[in-house]
Structure 1
């Protein structure tokens, strides 16, 4: 799956194709550190009947930077650590955590005033991190193209390649449209929605967001009723779909705070190689993130 840091690189293409190189390629303006926490509520899981319950505490830390190679080429780099800490009811067939520790590398080339292309690679460890085997290491690849129809309208196209996911090739189409001076509409991943610039320091937003990923499970989770085999040495696709509202608050020239609250409309843990799926009830979520740019 695509991480938040990779999506930040994608969105930065908009600035790259819309601004002169002299104002864009200044690395000291493009380095950042971000941390976030989110909570999604304790809700029941089912698979042909009750299968336990889970609440998810998600912690993220990322460091990123960019360097101009020349007037048309940009190199992006960073580190990311994410852990989904699962607060489980006894007997729930899930691990205690689903985590990612990855190196984030990106390359963007501006072909013209309208077209640019990018490649993003995220080699790292993705799993419960109880035991690390060869398949705990993964290197998801993201290929994108961006077309700036105007300064206000930007289109994205791409492919997300993940060899260990149930969907190893995932097409991506998105758009960023500033349809009024203070209003912007985004269709993308992990966020789709609309934002309104209330003031120079506050931007409000609302819409649909996604949380999840594909992780290697090495911890033995036993043989739950109905499972075809033990839930160990396999993969799980974790997904949450959320609908909510929030605000981006500029605290200082270099510091910003993001707050989100809303409804978790869908939750799923899919052990696709074992044909074993846990579906979760709807619930609520809250998220808080802090970012510093240098």
Structure 2
């Protein structure tokens, strides 16, 4: 009888832990602690998710160019939506992000490259809380990358798998895993990094593929917060295309980008960002062997989430 009662109690506590986390954090514990003091307005966190399946629509665009003799300019726009599905609890989520992106490429008449490229597909991201302080994060993204002229199969797969360990709660998280980019020039890379938050105003994200040093420059209570950041990241992708002579080939656009940016995060995950920087090591490379190098260029990116 005692064993049965203990099992029932354990199951009840487990269910309560999954469904009543917020209530438990506000309660007085068994050793007589006082209830948590309500945070001041400026200290209240901005909620980055909405309590619904629909998480928002993201519109973004960018342009990179240079004024040298060996010039290459690329403009793009992207439209995506974000949907979130709880897998038993809000600690475990499946996030789906369908997207469409179009590139406008201008490399001059002397270089054989399509003037329109497309990238469309869906990303599936999940976060599983394995145990306190230890999470598993994974993403898989099947995409169609093409000029819509080639007859070759243009589906490509990218993704990553990472284990994240909160070494020091709310201060330092370390992670390790691997990332598959679905690119000919950068196929598989290790995904090892850390997320360090020494205080509320500074954050260092040493995470591939986009490490960032961030400084919070404004906060309006739980309504919004604004961050400035510096970052470096690889740019470009691989596409299946039709050459001007009728051959089907694989085209890789590549560069490395250093940037300064500003991002505002608003209640419910809304917000905007703007970036300005320098793109260097710019190349166009075909699987058949043709390769072109270009001068460094300035670039700008902007985006908004509704």
TM range, smaller chain: 0.7 to 0.9
Aligned equivalents of 2:133 and 2:102: distance in 1? 38
**Is 1:291 equivalent to 2:279 in the alignment?**
no
Tell me: CA distance 1:85–1:75, structure 2 relative to 1, closer, same or farther (3 Å).
same
**Is 1:149 equivalent to 2:163 in the alignment?**
no
Matched-pair contact (CA < 8 Å) for 2:143–2:156: yes
Question: What stretches of structure 1 move > 6 A for 4+ residues in a row?
Answer: 23-26
Tell me: CA distance 1:86–1:25, structure 2 relative to 1, closer, same or farther (3 Å).
closer
Q: Which residue of 2 aligns with 1:63?
A: 81
Deviation, structure 1 residue 87: 2.0
Aligned equivalents of 1:169 and 1:190: distance in 2? 12
What is the DSSP-based 3-state SS (H/G/I as helix, E as strand, rest coil) of the residue aligned with 1:31?
A: strand
Aligned equivalents of 2:226 and 2:181: distance in 1? 36
Matched-pair contact (CA < 8 Å) for 2:53–2:85: no
**Is 1:257 equivalent to 2:257 in the alignment?**
no
**Is 1:160 equivalent to 2:179 in the alignment?**
yes
Equivalent in 57, 61, 80 of residue 33 of structure 1: 57
Aligned equivalents of 1:21 and 1:280: distance in 2? 54
Structure possessing the higher radius of gyration over alpha carbons: 2
Cα offsets for 1:58-78 (capped at 9, x unmatched):
211111121111135321112
Cα offsets for 1:30-54 (capped at 9, x unmatched):
712111111111456xxxxx8x632
TM-score between both structures, scaled by the size of structure 1:
0.77
Q: Which residue of 2 aligns with 1:244?
A: 259
Deviation, structure 1 residue 119: 2.6
Q: Which residue of 1 aligns with 2:227?
A: 203
Deviation, structure 1 residue 27: 4.3
In the TM superposition, what are the counterparts of 1:130-149 in structure 2 within 5 Å?
130-134=149-153, 136-149=154-167
Give RMSD over aligned pairs: 2.7
Aligned equivalents of 1:268 and 1:35: distance in 2? 27
Structure 1: tracts of 5 or more residues without a match? 1-19, 45-49, 223-229
Tell me: CA distance 1:132–1:28, structure 2 relative to 1, closer, same or farther (3 Å).
farther
Query: Paired residues, what number?
Result: 256
